[in-house]
Chains A and B, each alone.
Chain A
């Protein structure tokens, strides 16, 4: 696949995979190779230096086949679903010298198949009997890769050149010998060289561990048989995916949603259009109609758009198919070049995470139209990024990078979760006490906002609020948030979730900004809440009463939105509730 490709499908459409030949031998092999990919993920988890990797788990590991197709993925972020094969194939194509045993390739350039500059990829070819049989791959979000803002993650850069150092596909190791020129160059350009070293070391250790495991596995099965079994992995995922697609209704649907703005053209909404065409055992996700790429740093490269699309499709299919190229063969993703869904040079893309989340929401919305009753309403829209960095009184650099998201939309059969990561990023949050112990920051609030959930027969998750007070003299603050003017959608009569909001010492701010912060300043950020599902007047009054006792619903919301009249003790006044609901239904007509 070339990097400018607008679609994951090859031409012509491949023949559907046949049946798995020896299911038991296949299953034994699958356990073994998945074990290796998971062990890679664990190696990074345990050896990582930075909190971004350790606590937020913003990294992925994978094993690709000899052609660079994704074969097995370790536990990892859904957002990295498609990035590894795209980046690997581009890197292989870019090598001028032959690839030899002991080599490790490295890259981060979004315009050579990467995602955004902090995500550094490493690829190690695995040789058996003198031939490449597979690739061990890891991608980690590094804390800082230089550029104009600490954390290399600002949403208000306007060109890739402002965002940090670009690494085209290079050899990090040549026949086992590290490229010290490259390392010296990197150390001089990143703000925290020890952390960069430590995290890169963990990434390389993971690739080495996988190399040993894959070699042993290939030798135990025989080289040619190994290659065949890897092919089986792809067939297996393709079969499971196609079987699940068959169960969805045929049809074509389109869902439109908006990003608030790009932080540069403030107040200018950015349109996202997701069309899904489904017939038989094929499904196409098409982003044609989506806005052109923007000045702000929220442009997606194609692989990230594909990841958002697959996350929605996989979640709704619930087929248990392991993530690999077989899934990609059954589901085609189309994104026209030059759009925010598939940006071209020199678009800035450091904060593209936001667009990925919004596109996942949009793809879920389209799936909900295709398969009503099988898909949840919109969650809080994915994570907010807060970066606070500067220099201490002793001239030591500090960077605090926080990501959090917490509310699910209501499900057709149950309330949405609060205090739980959204589907597109299974990220963990930091401990307040650890943050305060390591940074000049006091977290003064970290809890749910009362009376905030999107109403419905099933309600969305409550919004989460987190406040940060600076105790260092000064810092640069950058915030990347959204859904402050375009609220999370409800479904089937469920209300939209509440909008998010950022306040500096009580003054409202826009959704994306960079500003300075002084000692004692408090940034208060409240995420959006999840959208509701179904008419709030159909909600079980007892559930409203329970929510009232827990401050998830106020007396006024119970009365005016849910039509539930509660006594002072919080029990339902049934007769008054019936009357109130009749009144509200009448008003609605």
Chain B
């Protein structure tokens, strides 16, 4: 049973534009605050938020029991190439693994495509003689003179962080360990990242890339953690600091500083964790999360309260590829992560007609500056937000709590000139077409985590947050045939809320290449026990929950499935095979003959400890906004008078209506009903045709 903390907790989420805060007081009440992110030094905005919320609530620094943090620092460091000057020591003959990647590119028929610039230039990739084979035996001994020469060169060049990744180090790390000893002996102050420690798994590119990413961001994160702790200490906050990891678990700050690879996609993960916990608390443990902002839409899948996981993803490129067959847009980071898919479509996405006169939504975006034409800040191109304003889904004071006034006239003008007139439709029909097209474009992110994973989206509710999520959620859900939409409280600061829901979680993985049988299962069991002990030691807190998974395949196959192995104390070969076969059949709809062996490729341990518990019923909602009505266009229904209802005034309403939060607008289409749940969420039930076979590719005409 989770202990209910008596102390206050701070959740802080740094985003591209805003830094969001939630202070949970000792009684469980939630207090929120939002301020502009200070990009030069994130701790300035954080200090301001802490001061403001403490002053507002009268809580003292000494009462803070925990600080939970999500940050974009890791991903920004990679995107902006602002990490440490990094060197790589690798095996002779393999100097260019980092640049060769898997050779593939994410674009076809495009001469202008540019490869991402490697994080370590060729001159700082130094090779050492010595070779371990795949079975762990030594073919050539390590040449220590090579190691010393490499170290001297890198030190002379002013490198401050070194990654070491030798071929087959996952099978036998002896050479890598020796390289590390020499490094520590002659260059004790260097930041060091070792591949067999960070990722003891087969695959030299993902392992090299992951190790290099760690080396590249580690000095930056270490420095940031130190400054953050100093800032907290200066205010008298002695509470432990936890970071959100890409896998949705929290990790102590000292581990984040050593292994920053786990906190690269920290913010998006927090929102999905929040959705999984709040969904479960409100009777919807199985949802598709939909986080739509100004430039992107992100989706993830939560089944029975558990977010879908990926074993690797790409960072440092631009928007994640939805069409994930084509890798190469960024750097591979092989760490467990919530399986998020992203498309470049959001409120700021620009609508343009191609040479055949067919409209496209994004991926170009007007961003927040100049922003959509209706912002009146010099934006001249038609955006999704201009269309929503034209349709009456937004009103002139919908953005930023009414602090910024939008111009509907400007929106209608660009929509008429750039869209309706050229394609020969009345403006409301044309912009409604864009709304539907936006839904279909954003749905690509949902497809990537559902149909591409063998799941039927109609089995899920859509859980929407982010500034634009609640506006598109019902349209997207109707298009996909999902029965229900959930809009949680505080959709605009939802990732901070997610932080308060998370547990500490430590992951360990190892390559394990063996056919499933009595011997290999016994061996796996022993290794898993050892890995669990390591994870527990790292968490420095006993009594956690251990779950074990394996990556497995039919012996003849060349890709893996991740399979939960259940109770690690009671593994047996038949049950392991059965678990794999069941998962394979669920995802791929076929089962190989009984005599086809099943093989392990890797085994994994997750060690989880709860750190607090969020009580949503205690959140105090601000009572803002006034009821009114707004003319809005609903496709075949035409123009209707839609009631505008502040969330706090909502009990039960029938669509069309528009529900407002200070930071988001929820659209309830005709025929749907909206209900405020006891915990403050909005639940929209959509009118559905009877569920027929395989309608998953169909959207309403």
* Cβ-defined contact, A417 with B108, below 8 A: no
Contact of B108 among A43, A48, A426, A432 (CB under 8 A): A426
CB distance from A31 to the nearest CB of B (A): 5
CB-based contact B355/A27 at 8 Å: no
Q: A28-B440, A445-B93 are in contact. Are A431 and B203 (CB under 8 A)?
A: yes
- How far does the alpha carbon of A91 sit from the alpha carbon of B430 in the complex, in Å? 43
Binds B, one of A1-9, A348-356, A547-555: A547-555
| Interchain CB contact under 8 A, A433 and B203 | yes
B463 to chain A, nearest CB (A): 22
A446 touches B97 (CB 8 A): yes
Give the interface size bracket for A toward B: 35 or more
Q: Contact between A433 and B444 (Cβ–Cβ < 8 Å)?
A: no
Among B307-315, B356-364, B408-416, B516-524, the one that faces the other chain is B356-364
User: What residues of A have a CB within 8 angstroms of the CB of B437 in the complex?
Assistant: 24, 27-28, 31
Measured CA separation A54–B558 after assembly (Å): 6
**Cβ of A84 under 8 Å from chain B:** no
**CA A78 to CA B105, docked complex, whole Å:** 13
Is there a chain B Cβ closer than 8 Å to A320's Cβ?
yes
Contact (A24, B588) CB under 8 Å given A216-B695, A428-B327, A464-B100: no
CA distance A431 to B121 in the complex (A): 21
Contact B698 A217 (CB under 8 A): yes
Given A31-B440, A216-B696, A220-B698, the answer on whether A19 and B111 have CB atoms closer than 8 Å is no
Q: A50 near B: Cβ within 8 Å?
A: yes
Find residues 684-700 in chain B having any chain A CB closer than 8 Å to their own CB: 692-699
- Contact of B139 with A442 in the complex, beta carbons under 8 Å: yes
The residues of A that contact B323 with a CB separation of less than 8 Å are 38, 75
Name which residue of chain B comes closest to A418, CB basis. Answer: B99
Bound CA span A376–B113, Å? 12
Q: Are A434 and B202 in touch, CB under 8 angstroms?
A: yes
Chain B neighbourhood of A444, CB < 8 A: 93, 131
Chain A residues whose C-beta falls within 8 Å of the C-beta of B588 in the assembled complex: 43, 46-47, 205
List A contacts of B693 (CB < 8 A): 212, 216
* Complex contacts, B513 vs chain A, CB 8 Å: 437
CA distance A201 to B593 in the complex (A): 13
A50 in contact with B558 (CB, 8 Å): yes
Asked whether A248 is an interface residue with its Cβ less than 8 Å from the other chain, the reply is no
Report chain B residues within 8 Å CB of A28. 436-437, 440, 699, 701
Known contacts: A42-B452, A48-B559, A212-B694. The answer to whether A419 contacts B99 by CB under 8 A is: yes
A565 CB–B CB distance under 8 Å: no
In the bound complex, do residue B359 and residue A20 qualify as a contact, i.e. CB atoms below 8 Å apart? no
Any A CB within 8 A of the CB of B441: yes
**Bound-complex Cα distance A458 to B557 (A):** 43
Bound together, the chains give a CA A307 to CA B636 distance in angstroms of: 44
Chain A 483-503, CB-CB to B under 8 Å as 1, else 0, gives: 000000000000000000000
List A1-48 residues whose CB lies under 8 Å from chain B.
19-20, 23-28, 30-32, 35-36, 38-39, 41-43, 45-48
Q: How far is the CB of B428 from chain A (nearest CB, A)?
A: 13
| Chain B residue with the shortest CB-CB distance to A31 | B440
Inter-chain contact A428/B699, CB cutoff 8 Å: no
Taking the closest CB of chain A, its distance from the CB of B112, in whole angstroms, is 8
- Whether A236 sits at the interface, judged by CB under 8 Å, is yes
The answer for the CA separation of A28 and B432 in the assembled complex, in Å, is 13
Beta-carbon contacts under 8 Å, B259-289 to A: none
Please judge, given known A-B contacts A24-B359, A201-B590, A421-B105, whether A55 and B697 are in contact too, CB under 8 Å: no
Whether the Cβ atoms of B559 and A46 lie closer than 8 Å is: yes
Which residues of B (645-701) have their CB < 8 Å from a CB of A?
692-699, 701
Q: Given the interface contacts A240-B354, A467-B93, A550-B121, does A314 sit within 8 Å of B557 by beta carbon?
A: no
Number of contacting residues on B, CB 8 A? 80
In the complex, whether A195 has a CB less than 8 A from a CB of chain B is yes
Contact A220 B695 (CB under 8 A): yes
B325 to A434, Cβ gap below 8 A?
no
Q: How far is the CB of A397 from the nearest CB of chain B, in Å?
A: 13
Given contacts A75-B323, A445-B93, A36 and B697 within 8 Å (CB-CB): yes
In residues 559-585 of chain B, which contact A (Cβ within 8 Å)?
Answer: 559
Chain B residues within 8 Å of A316, by CB: 111
Within 8 A of B (CB), among A507-558: 549-552
Asked if A244 is an interface residue, CB under 8 A from chain B, the answer is yes
What residues of B have a CB within 8 angstroms of the CB of A437 in the complex? 134, 202, 513
Of all chain A residues, the one with the shortest Cβ separation from B555 is: A194
Per-position 1/0 for A431-454, Cβ under 8 A of B: 111101100001111111000000
Check B436–A51 contact: CB distance below 8 A.
no
> CB distance A47 to B590 under 8 Å?
yes
Contacts of B111 in A (CB 8 A): 315-316, 318, 375-376, 411, 423
* Residue picked from B110, B355, B440, B698, most chain A C-beta under 10 Å: B355
Are A213 and B697 in contact (CB-based, < 8 A)? yes
Residues of B with C-beta under 8 A to A426: 104-105, 108, 326
B104 → chain A closest CB, angstroms:
4
- A26 surroundings in chain B (CB, below 8 A): 358
Roughly how many angstroms separate A31 CA and B441 CA in the complex, as a whole number? 8
B residues whose Cβ falls under 8 Å from a Cβ of A = 93-97, 99-105, 108-112, 114-115, 121-123, 131, 133-134, 139, 167-168, 170, 202-205, 323, 325-328, 353-360, 423, 425, 430, 433-434, 436-437, 440-441, 444, 447, 451-452, 513, 554, 556-559, 587-590, 592, 596, 692-699, 701
Besides A23-B353, A35-B447, 19 other A-B contacts (C-beta < 8 A): A27-B437, A30-B358, A53-B558, A54-B559, A198-B592, A220-B701, A244-B355, A315-B109, A315-B111, A418-B96, A419-B115, A426-B108, A428-B103, A433-B134, A433-B202, A442-B133, A448-B95, A448-B96, A551-B122
Ordered by A's residue number, 21 sampled pairs between the chains whose C-beta atoms are within 8 Å are A32-B697, A35-B444, A38-B323, A42-B452, A47-B590, A54-B559, A55-B558, A57-B104, A75-B323, A205-B588, A240-B354, A414-B114, A421-B105, A423-B109, A426-B326, A427-B104, A429-B103, A433-B168, A443-B93, A446-B93, A464-B96
The 7 closest A-B pairs by CB, nearest first: A24-B433, A550-B122, A445-B93, A436-B134, A54-B558, A419-B100, A212-B694
